[in-house]
Amino acid sequence: MIIDTHCHLDFEQFNSDRDEVIRRARAAGVFYMINIGSSLEGSAKSVELASEHDNIFATVGIHPHHAEEIDAGSFSETETLAKKERVVAIGEIGLDYFKSPSSPASQKELFVRFITLSRELGLPLIIHNRNAHRDTCDILNRECQLPVRGVVHCFSGDRKELDEVLSLGLFVSFTCNLTFKNAKGLREVAKFVPKERLLLETDAPFLAPQAYRGKRNEPAYVTQLRDTFAELLNLPKGEIEDITTANARNLFGINI
Ligand SMILES: [Zn+2]
Ligand SMILES: [Zn+2]
């Protein structure tokens, strides 16, 4: 059994065949998926998907790209959503300094607001960080009690950044970009994640694995990432599944 801990099945890329995608995931052994809220509307859809499917859990958050679309009123809507059933985390939230339409100041402000909310609700964090490692770690260090209960999703940093993230107590999640032919450097870094901190995700519809590169990604393809880790860590595929499923249960407190 595998858990895809980060996908966006609410996105329009799945409008024509969402149920089929969910069925394919189960058939591939991906028994559970965590659907990630990345906007106000997406968080609402995420909660709705989780209420309709017993194999989907939801999270509520606003991607840093949308930081300037949120005002006090819409933030309070996310608070209401985050209290719904089957919401297992706050995110994705964080900082993205790569061609973002939102200013760093607005991103930081929203990040801190969501960290406060996660503390109030006792939920873990799903952190998005692109080209913003320093500020992300500084904010977490300042705003959270260590160890930080959360995960850095789609990890793509170097060894030094990995060590810093681990020292904050965070879990580390990899997407299918780890399977890319040219991801040798990232695979070398991935070897150093302690087994008890490792999570798997697709970030579907983005970042399809090497075998489907350039196409739409979907939760069933997380199996390719499992295979890459099995090879990388020289462990049976079943053990990678057991380790990462136990970690997802542990971090998100899901009873499955
Ligand atoms: Zn992200
Ligand atoms: Zn995402």
CA 147 to ligand 1 centroid distance, Å: 22
CA 215 to ligand 2 centroid distance, Å: 16
CA 126 to ligand 1 centroid distance, Å: 9
Lowest mean pLDDT: which of 64-78, 129-143, 153-167?
A: 64-78
The 10s digit of each residue's pLDDT in 6-50 is 999 999 999 999 999 999 999 999 999 999 999 999 999 999 999
- Give SS3 for 152: strand
The 10s digit of each residue's pLDDT in 183-242 is 999 999 999 999 999 999 999 999 999 999 999 999 999 999 999 999 999 999 999 999
CA 66 to ligand 1 centroid distance, Å: 12
Strand blocks (E) in 124-206:
125-130, 150-152, 171-174, 198-200
CA 36 to ligand 2 centroid distance, Å: 6
As a whole number of angstroms, the distance between CA 35 and CA 19 comes to: 14
Angle between helices 104-121 and 133-143 (to 10 degrees): 40
CA 172 to ligand 1 centroid distance, Å: 13
β-pairing, 150-152 with 56-60?
unpaired
CATH number for the segment(s) 2-252: 3.20.20.140
CA 92 to ligand 1 centroid distance, Å: 6
Mean pLDDT, residues 70-86: 94
Q: Give the residue among 48, 24, 42 at the shortest CA–CA distance from 218.
A: 24
- With b meaning 16 or more CB within 10 Å and e meaning fewer, what string describes 45-76? bbbbbbeebeebbbbbbbbbbbbbebeeeeee
List helix spans (H) across 83-183. Answer: 104-121, 133-143, 159-167
Strand partners, 96: 130
Name residues whose C-beta falls within 8 Å of residue 158's C-beta, 6 or more positions apart in sequence.
Answer: 185, 189
Ligand nearest to the CA of 46: 2
Mean pLDDT, residues 106-131: 98
The 10s digit of each residue's pLDDT in 134-153 is 999 999 999 999 999 999 99
Q: Check pLDDT > 90 for residue 256.
A: no
Q: Check pLDDT > 90 for residue 59.
A: yes
Mean pLDDT, residues 99-125: 97
**Token match 């909660």: residue?**
47
As a whole number of angstroms, the distance between CA 120 and CA 223 comes to: 35
Mean pLDDT, residues 116-139: 98
Phi, then psi, of 12 in degrees rounded to 5: -65, -20
CA 238 to ligand 2 centroid distance, Å: 26
pLDDT of res. 255: 84
Sketch the domain layout of the chain as residue ranges: 2-252
pTM: 0.97
Nearest-5° Cα angle at 42, 39 to 48: 145
β-pairing, 198-200 with 171-174?
parallel
Mean pLDDT, residues 122-145: 98
Q: Check pLDDT > 90 for residue 72.
A: no
CA 8 to ligand 1 centroid distance, Å: 10
